[in-house]
Structure 1
Amino acid sequence: MGITPARKAVAFLVKKGQDIKIYNSYGKQVVDFWAFNPSDPHDFLSMVHTRTVLLKVSLSKGDKLYSTRRKPMLTLTEDTTKGVHDIIWSACDAERYRMQGHDSYHGNCTDNMRKLCFPNRVPWRCALRDSFPDFHIADDWVPDPLNLFMNVAIDHRGQLDIRVPTSEKGQFVVLKAETDLIIVTSSCPQDMAPVNGGQPTDCEYGISGQQEASADIMTQILQTISSSHRRRRRVKVALTFDFDAVSHWLGTGCHPDNNMADYSSGIFAGQVGAVRLLTLLKKHGIADKVTWSLPGHTIETFPETARAVVDSGAEVGLHGSTRTKASNR
């Protein structure tokens, strides 16, 4: 199970036939949802094409969602809500909040998506970036998203009215991938309209066979390296892991917008994530050929996992105490 933290976004890869389950963990959170063809950034989930193919402005169980090539990308296979979602509204952006009277910068779904998708800005997860090095989209443009759980009513005059979502805590939708896809989800930061009931929250997501899919990506990278050796090319790869866990959020990652989901992700890294990574490295026989950097806080908080890292035979370096910034003295 993954988490899309409140006001933030995540990206992940799904394979054809996999199910993506998006939970409304607290009941009223809107999730902006994008999908891209990893081999063709111009082929992406399109709300205007979906509307014109379906000939309607709402979604029902069994509906397919279409790309700019009018190809089915996803199918809505399950929906435990009342079926209220939006395929009209654009992603919120900084200008939207200025129009609403917010003078300073306000986090928004447009920038959330940009930070994940543009190679010259914040990079994707390493495995995705390495697997799809040529994937990029124009940095001044973001497609209209599928707004899961968003409640936009249309009155008899054709006016749009944003209302509080009708979804309840724990309800979810399931979307089946009709092809390999790069998915981006953003827990909408809107707190100046009824979009999220006035309070943005985390949302959870699950992917069928997620662990196997992650392993497949790593296998693909390792096979590429192995193939290069067979062609007698000398390839050297350095794998290093900063095992920050919770310490990141206490040090350089400390920010007023942080919430319990951030710290929860750190705990997950210490108790589950690092163990999974060790298992994967051992599976491929490279556990003793990598470098781990461990902060003192991580060693004290997760001693069993830290010991497993040391026992793996990897090179281990001290990564400070809590990743605090160096002073100017």
Structure 2
Amino acid sequence: MPKPTNMNASWAPFARTILRRLHAVEDDSSFDLDIDMDGDTIAPRSKRTPPGVIELLDAMDSTQKHDLHDLDAMRAAGVDGVSLDDRGSDRPPHTIAAGKILMALRLAATFIREEHFLQALEPRAVTVLEGIGSAQLSGAATSIGRLFLPTDWTSHARAPRHKESGVLQLLRPTESGSKKISEHAVAKIESEILTALTLPHPLMILLPETALLPPELRRVLPPAKRLAPIDRDLMLKLLGQTHSSTGKIDAALVRPLLPDDEALATLDMPSLMSALREPDASAAARKLTALLAPTANTSSDMTLEEIGGDTPAHQVARDLVTDLVAWRRGEAQWTELSASLLLEGEPGSGKTLLARAIAASAGVP
């Protein structure tokens, strides 16, 4: 008899802790998860109530409210019985933005255990976390400050002069009014990192894919951790929050409907949000699979990588592809991109070939 869930990820217990904190702060009308205290300071609620034994047991992925025989019958009919409450509803009691849940889960999966995160708070510790979408940098910083820090800690972009403990220097490239990280923003964080390294407080640096620190600075920083990619285990956890009244879903039913881990690692935010509008977890999984299905390339156009070359035209083309991919992933706005390229040359010089390679590399028509 298959189990109703299959959440054996090593980070799952830590994720449950973080999700409880997320629900607690969302339920507290006096505490706004999204607003920093003074512009560059982020802190958790001053008090966290530890969960009771019954609450802990009920939150476990293996716990379910229905008889196993009933679950088998519902599964055979394509119904996710694990997500249903006693009234037959699969709606969560409170609606939390999926982006907040997803970032909290990815951070929990990155650190795996709370004690691993707390090691990053040791005096003079330095942690570099990269692979965060430019549009998600602020959300990552907010999640760390609100949900991951102990209650007597605060995170600061600029450490206060007169506080000797309980301070995490949390740095990220920032640029007002833009979700694309400019050279100016990268230069600014380089200066902030150098200043932070002179202080005894622990330091955590959040970087997007596109932020390239100079080699001399990279050399003195520890190897970067990568933000955990979206995979099937993580997606099942997310669907348990967005499409379940119990915080759990029937993984035996939903997991086979999801794209594989390699495809999910490429998931962009528009596709995710579109899939999450489906009425139940199974439908959302099917929508994700449809959206991430490889597009047939009937013309067999070559990509820029296959063409090769290092001329100025090739470099401009690669930069254009980088911008278009960032737009498709929701990491940049269309108005921020250089979305046009004028190619001149004699007939047969490769203009059409290069244009088709740009489209094939960026995954656009």
TM-score norm. by structure 1 comes to: 0.24
Greater RCO between the two (CA within 8 Å, min separation 6)?
1
Bigger strand fraction: 1
Query: Which structure: larger Rg?
Result: 2
More helix by share: 2
